[in-house]
Amino acid sequence: MAWNEWIGFIIIGFGVAFDALGCLGLLRFPDIYNRLQGATKCVTFGTCGILFGIFVMNGFTGFGIKALVAIPFVLLTSPVGAHALARGAHIFGVPLWEKSVVDHYKQDRKDKPRL
Amino acid sequence: MKKAILILFIFTLWLLLTWNASWQSLVAGGVTALMVGLIFGNLAVTAPMKVIQPQRWFWLLLYIPIFIWEMAKANFDVAYRVLHPKMPIHPGIVKVKTRLKSPLGIAFLANSITLTPGTFTIDLKDEYLYIHCINVRHQKLDEATKDIVSRFEKLLIKIFD
């Protein structure tokens, strides 16, 4: 194999490992907000790693450039999805984990939870 | 001006996505970019003068490696907390204040916060951001702002405001 394929496979391996860790976080963390932490961060980084690995393997061809262009879109959309899920959950009154330290958002909101 | 910026942006994106320089592809992309740009130019681009100032692009280029470095750190941090058998997390929602004014800048700040160390943005009210931290270090408004926001804010003000 050529050197760029080796490097590409190593980066893809990193990406898959972080995706797996994100899934593990999704299972292990106690409440929805912490689970979103694992889901957004690790999965975004892992997916970007896979896409960048594909770019390294293919170089400046149509395939590689498409993977590279997809990275900003993942970076832009994944946090927005997490924000929408977390805000919706909080507005509908999903409680934080009982050992949570502080919740300024709840103190500042005037309206009652809708559930 | 606004329309020209949007047309150029869409056409560049088309060229990158298709990666095909045959004349059919160029004509199809050009016509589509022209139509979309003419219709949505006034909606999509709000501050055309900011786009053509080169120093903003310079700071944006400087921002990208800093952001990637912070993101990598964040991922190792979260991975450590996931794998640790006792799960050392102290979650909570803190309030921070931002000095950014432009909507695009605030959007970038919120996204950057979401992708970096153990924090993500839940809501925005006026100039306050509500941030869920996986490990709350500071509960006071000023200290939390200094800890979470100021790293990105310094550069984002130069880029967007």
**Alpha helix positions (H), chain A:** 3-28, 32-58, 62-91, 104-108
Give the start-to-end residue ranges of the domains of chain A. Answer: 3-96+103-108
Q: Choose among A45, A107, A33, A111: nearest CA to A78.
A: A45
**A9-13, B64-68, B110-114, B139-143, range with the lowest pLDDT:** B139-143
pLDDT of residue B106: 84
| Chain B residues near residue A90 by CB distance under 8 angstroms | 122-123
Q: How confident is the model at residue B117 (pLDDT cuts 50, 70, 90)?
A: low
Which of the residues A23, A27, A28, A45 would you substitute to probe the B interface, choosing the one with the greatest number of B C-beta atoms within 10 Å? A45
Q: Choose among B41, B31, B26, B146: nearest CA to B96.
A: B146
* Residue linked to tokens 């950057």: B112
Between B122 and B139, where is the model more confident? B122
- DSSP codes of every residue in B34-72: HHHHHHHHHHH-S-HHHHT-HHHHHHHHHHHHHHHHHHH
Taking an 8 Å cut-off on Cβ atoms, the answer to whether A105 and B75 are in contact is no
Measured CA to CA, the distance from residue A18 to residue A27 in angstroms comes to 14
Among the partner-chain residues A66, A86, A99, the one whose CB lies closest to the CB of B132 is A86
Give the start-to-end residue ranges of the domains of chain B. Answer: 2-49, 53-160
Q: How confident is the model at residue A61 (pLDDT cuts 50, 70, 90)?
A: confident
What's the token pair of residue A33? 């907000």
pLDDT of residue A112: 61
pLDDT of residue B79: 81
User: For chain A, what is the mean pLDDT?
Assistant: 82
The answer to whether residue A46 scores a pLDDT higher than 60 is yes
Measured CA to CA, the distance from residue B151 to residue B161 in angstroms comes to 16
pLDDT of residue B44: 76
Q: How confident is the model at residue A101 (pLDDT cuts 50, 70, 90)?
A: low
Percent above pLDDT 90 for chain A: 11
Chain A nearest-CA residue for B117: A41
Chain B nearest-CA distance from A45, in A, is: 7
The answer to whether residue B135 scores a pLDDT higher than 60 is yes
Among the partner-chain residues A33, A76, A108, the one whose CB lies closest to the CB of B132 is A33
pLDDT of residue B72: 84
DSSP-derived letter for residue A98 is T
Which segments of chain B are extended strands (E)? Answer: 92-97, 119-125, 128-133
pLDDT of residue B16: 86
pLDDT of residue A53: 92
Phi, psi of B47 (to 5 degrees): -130, 80
Sign, CA torsion B43/B47/B52/B57:
negative
Which of the residues A105, A107, A108, A111 would you substitute to probe the B interface, choosing the one with the greatest number of B C-beta atoms within 10 Å? A105
Q: What is the mean pLDDT of residues A44-58?
A: 89
The answer to whether residue A114 scores a pLDDT higher than 60 is no
Sign, CA torsion B144/A32/A86/B118:
positive
The answer to whether B15 and B8 have CB atoms below 8 angstroms apart is no
Q: What is the mean pLDDT of residues B39-61?
A: 80
ipTM here: 0.78
The answer to whether residue B31 scores a pLDDT higher than 90 is yes
Q: Choose among A104, A11, A89: nearest CA to A51.
A: A11
